[in-house]
Amino acid sequence: MGRICFFNTAIAWGGGEKWHLEVSSYLHGKAHNVLVVAHQKSELLKRVKKAQIPYEAIEINNLSFLNPLKHLKIRRLFKQYDIDTVVMNLSRDVKVAAPSAKAAGVTSIIYRRGSAIPIKNTFLNRYYFKSTITDILANSEATKKTVLQNNANLFPKNKIKVIYNGVEIPQNIEKREYKESQQRAEFTILTVGRLEAQKNQKFLIHLAKELLERKLQFKIRIGGEGRLREELEKLIVDLEVGGHVILAGFIKNPMEFIDNGDIFVLPSLWEGFGYVLAEAALCKKPIIAFDTSSNPELVVNNKSGYLISPGDIKGFADAIENLYRRPELAKKMGEKGFEYVKNHFDKKKKLQEIEVYLLNG
């Protein structure tokens, strides 16, 4: 058979880039023919080089689809490497790589979608999805749903496959000693995520005000960096919750960070696949998140945590207060979440699923 090409020209590092690196590394390690096409200045390319995976560097921007020379270059690249499957992650890549792949005779042209945002029903999208893309690989049922949300006929539903992101299950995790809940005077609420609008950390700062009015003794530790840091810092001061909300900065080891708290919360407005929810569950922490996008696929409501209506501060605070006053319930929910994630999102099993999907269709 020909070679599998992972085509991702994002410069920044994110979930999609992590997925491309992990899958290409896994397949390369099993002696499958793979090629990674990435931006020459990207973090993905740096890591691909380090892993000694075959690669090509290329630059793509939002207007590259209008450049016939760019199409020609990519078409020749696909033919040069005898590509028969290409997997793309960005919409701008789809606009160039998908028609180029079709022109080069690539058999499987796969859009790997990791964002639970509805696809716009535009003329260009109808063209790409009806005429160039052969398959869609989604990272959750919620993501799959958004593909056809604005146009039920945009793409054949039976050609949209869901394979969840895998989570690394640490060795000897069953024997790992988990830290007991903190003293009630130091009840710690944790979250991890980029300081961006999607992650909605402002909600947690307003939540802190509500918890203070209920006379709870707590700290909210927000892990992550991003463009909204100054705005969040100002809001913390304005709402006078400085002693209770801490911006902890970039977190190198999320599970180690999560391990040092009592509960995990996720106020994101949407998630394609809430990877950090799975990590929190592996730390045996009860979880509180909004009942939206893929969260119900990772959090079993009223068993491993609570799913709250988006934006409901009082409902969110009620759930926190319940776990604050009932540590035995928090521990039980953490155990339930641990078992659920271990049984449903094991990275080794997910990589095997992806291997079968890419090799056999």
Tell me what pLDDT residue 177 has: 52
| Cβ-contact 27, 85 below 8 angstroms | no
pLDDT of residue 171: 72
Per-residue confidence (pLDDT) for residue 251, from 0 to 100: 92
In tens, the pLDDT along 164-223 reads 999 988 876 665 554 555 544 589 999 999 999 999 999 999 999 999 999 999 999 999
Is 204 strand, coil or helix?
Answer: helix
Eight-state DSSP code of residue 288:
E
Taking the C-alpha atoms of residue 84 and residue 105, their distance in angstroms, rounded to an integer, is: 8
* Burial of 241 from C-beta contacts in 10 A (0-12 / 13-18 / 19+): buried
The pLDDT value recorded for residue 2 is: 77
DSSP-derived secondary structure for 120-170:
P--HHHHHHHHHT--EEEESSHHHHHHHSSS-TTSS-GGGEEE-PPPB---
In the chain the domains, ranked by start, together with CATH numbers, are 3-166+346-360 (3.40.50.2000), 173-344 (3.40.50.2000)
Question: d(Cα 10, Cα 280) in Å, to the nearest integer?
Answer: 27
Among residues 222, 223, 219, 221, which one has the least CA distance to residue 187?
219
* Mean pLDDT in order along the chain per 10 residues (361 residues): 92 90 97 97 96 96 94 97 96 97 97 93 96 97 95 97 91 58 72 96 98 96 96 97 96 92 96 92 97 96 98 98 96 96 94 95 64
Distance CA 168, CA 348 (A): 8
Note the pTM of the prediction, 2 decimals: 0.85
